[in-house]
């Protein structure tokens, strides 16, 4: 079995202290055959203290690690998109050569979705605003491979799965855009110890497959070494139950299944 983890942060992100070499060694120790560094680029994000100051050095450091390691390391990035940063973010994505781009919904131009302020501002409309923003991201960002952590809002607000699934038609619209554009859906295991998270991904993957989706990627969203590959078996179980055989990996020629890849 080939294990992948395509969502790992390092000390290039302002919210992680993990040295890249330690992350690579940990991934190899966990029998991971393909990993991606996906450090944050959230232009204009209010609490982002050091948004990615030096992309050439970041990419150079990954290249240097690739030379020595017995593992495939993708040059990835996680971009948080708002209406006002989309164009600038897009031009950065086109200028540099990334192997893997994760599109994320962390906030809009008004508020960060994890904050209490988001609930105060939007009240009962919080989920509507959240899903509308995700739809905007997947429709308007030209370059990306996968949509990250659709469960993000559930981590920070007292919302039930039932409330989340009341927006089934909004979720369908997002999944349909991903499918039409040949983008992958990420199963993000940061919060996978919660039953709510497991049930949500179970629903989401089943729905994605029913609508014609083919590509699911695994991402631990690790910010510390101990979380690399976290809950992989749980995620694999949910994946298989939804009818998918294995996780996907992006290549220069399109998506491949990790079970069929030489990576
Ligand atoms: Zn994120
Ligand atoms: Zn992340």
Specify the residue for token string 């131009």.
109
CATH number at residue 51: 3.20.20.140
Please tell me the predicted confidence (pLDDT) of residue 32.
Answer: 96
> What does the chain come to in residues?
263
- How many angstroms separate the alpha carbon of residue 89 from the centre of ligand 2? 16
98 band by pLDDT with thresholds 50, 70 and 90: very high
Ligand nearest to C-alpha 227: 2
> Looking at residues 100-105, what average pLDDT do you find?
98
- Identify which of 241, 53, 74, 232 has the alpha carbon closest to the alpha carbon of residue 145: 74
> Looking at residues 37-62, what average pLDDT do you find?
82
Which residues have their alpha-adjacent CB atom under 5 A from ion ligand 2? 78, 221
Largest Cα separation within the chain, whole Å, is: 52
46 band by pLDDT with thresholds 50, 70 and 90: low
H or E stretch covering 152: helix 152-156
Q: What is the pLDDT of residues 122-154, one digit of tens each?
A: 999 999 999 999 999 999 999 999 999 999 999
**171 pLDDT higher than 80:** yes
246 band by pLDDT with thresholds 50, 70 and 90: very high
Q: What is the pLDDT of residues 63-73, one digit of tens each?
A: 999 987 889 99
Strand pairing class (72-80; 248-251) = unpaired
Residue 107 · residue 82 · CB < 8 Å: yes
Please tell me the predicted confidence (pLDDT) of residue 192.
Answer: 95
Q: Strand (E) positions, 67-181?
A: 72-80, 100-104, 146-147
Q: What is the pLDDT of residues 182-206, one digit of tens each?
A: 999 999 999 999 999 999 999 999 9
Domain count of the fold of the chain: 1
d(CA 101, CA 97): 10
Cα angle value 89/224/77 (rounded, 5°): 15
Q: Which domain holds residue 99?
A: 3-260
Please tell me the predicted confidence (pLDDT) of residue 44.
Answer: 87
- How many angstroms separate the alpha carbon of residue 95 from the centre of ligand 1? 22
C-alpha to C-alpha distances, 58 to 5, 48, 125, nearest whole angstrom = 19, 17, 39
Kindly report the pTM of this predicted structure: 0.96
Residue 238 · residue 207 · CB < 8 Å: no
Please tell me the predicted confidence (pLDDT) of residue 1.
Answer: 65
Ligand nearest to C-alpha 107: 1
- How many angstroms separate the alpha carbon of residue 42 from the centre of ligand 1? 10
């Amino acid at each position: 079995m080939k294990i992948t983890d395509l969502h790992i942060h390092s000390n290039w992100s302002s919210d992680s202290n993990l040295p890249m070499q330690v992350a690579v060694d940990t991934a190899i120790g966990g029998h991971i055959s393909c990993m991606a560094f996906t450090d944050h680029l959230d232009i204009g994000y209010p609490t982002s203290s050091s948004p990615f100051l030096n992309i050439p050095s970041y990419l150079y450091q990954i290249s240097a690690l690739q030379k020595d390691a017995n593992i495939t390391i993708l040059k990835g990035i996680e971009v948080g998109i708002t209406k006002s940063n989309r164009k600038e973010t897009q031009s950065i994505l086109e200028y540099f050569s990334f192997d893997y781009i994760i599109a994320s919904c962390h906030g809009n131009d008004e508020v960060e979705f994890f904050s209490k302020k988001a609930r105060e501002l939007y009240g009962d409309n919080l989920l509507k605003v959240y899903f509308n923003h995700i739809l905007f991201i997947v429709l308007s960002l030209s370059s990306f491979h996968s949509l990250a952590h659709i469960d993000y809002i559930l981590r920070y607000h007292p919302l039930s799965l039932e409330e989340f699934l009341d927006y089934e038609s909004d979720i369908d619209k997002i999944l349909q855009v991903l499918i039409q554009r040949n983008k992958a859906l990420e199963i993000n295991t940061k919060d996978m110890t919660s039953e709510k998270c497991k049930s949500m991904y179970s629903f989401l993957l089943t729905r994605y497959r029913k609508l014609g989706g083919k590509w699911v990627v695994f991402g631990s969203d690790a910010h510390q070494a101990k979380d690399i590959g976290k809950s992989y078996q749980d995620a694999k179980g949910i994946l298989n139950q939804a009818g998918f055989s294995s996780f996907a990996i992006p290549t220069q020629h399109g998506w491949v299944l990790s079970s069929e890849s030489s990576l």
